[in-house]
Amino acid sequence: MINILLALIGVTGVGKSYYKDKIEKELNFEKLKIITNRKPRSGEVNGSDKIFVTTDELNKLVDDGEIAFKFNLAGMTYAFPKKEMFSDKNIVFEFHYSELENLKKVCPNVKSLYLLPKDINIARQKLLERHMDTKLEEARMQDLNEHYEKVTNDKKLLDMFDHVVYNNYDEESDREVLNIVRELVKIGE
């Protein structure tokens, strides 16, 4: 059996966290515990989805050879532990499209599922519901709008993903996502 490394990709507010939790619960995937030097957001628990460390602690993990992949995004560093990326378990995680090509060089068996909102205004509303500080919220909204415009205007960009689902935030979208993942698991058996 080949393990599945499933990267959920899409704009802020499209449902990556929602589907990560759903895939974990319904299809017995494990969530990748991403290591980062950023500060936890409100409601985030250290060790649940992410492991929050200092920059020095993260650098030590890299020096000790415990990191499979590391990248920078919005001024913060994120790292994927080797023990999870190269395990025999099915793993699901959120990811940024800009690093997918680099990740596949390290982990060629990564499968990508791009979530695209049918209605961008729902994704914008979901971002506002996070109640971030104003400066961060404005930056995330700008990133959301730029990312959405880029992906909707550059059809070649969508070709880099293994699967694309237009999320309508409904049961039909849930079924489509879960069926794609079920098929990936069947192929890996």
Looking at per-residue pLDDT, the higher value among 12 and 114 belongs to: 114
Q: Which residue ranges make up each domain of the chain? A: 5-188
| Stretch (H or E) spanning 146 | helix 134-153
The structural architecture, per CATH, of the domain 5-188 is 3-Layer(aba) Sandwich (3.40)
Contacts of 10 (CB under 8 A, 6+ apart): 16, 114, 115, 116, 117, 167
> What's the CA gap between 52 and 9, in Å, rounded?
21
Burial class for 162, CB neighbours closer than 10 Å (0-12, 13-18, 19+): middle
Strand partners, 167: 117
pLDDT, position 135: 85
Q: Is 1 a residue whose pLDDT tops 70?
A: no
Its pTM stands at 0.88
Tell me if residue 14 falls in helix, strand or coil: coil
Residues in a beta bridge with 9? 95, 114
Residues 18-73: pLDDT tens digits? 999 999 999 999 999 999 999 887 778 898 878 999 999 999 999 999 999 999 98
Phi (first) and psi of residue 94, to 5 degrees: -85, 150
Tens of pLDDT, residue by residue over 90-120, are: 999 999 988 999 999 999 989 999 999 988 8
> How wide is the angle at C-alpha 18 spanned by C-alphas 120 and 55, nearest 5°?
95
Q: Which residue has the higher pLDDT, 32 or 13?
A: 32
CB atoms within 10 A of CB 28: 10
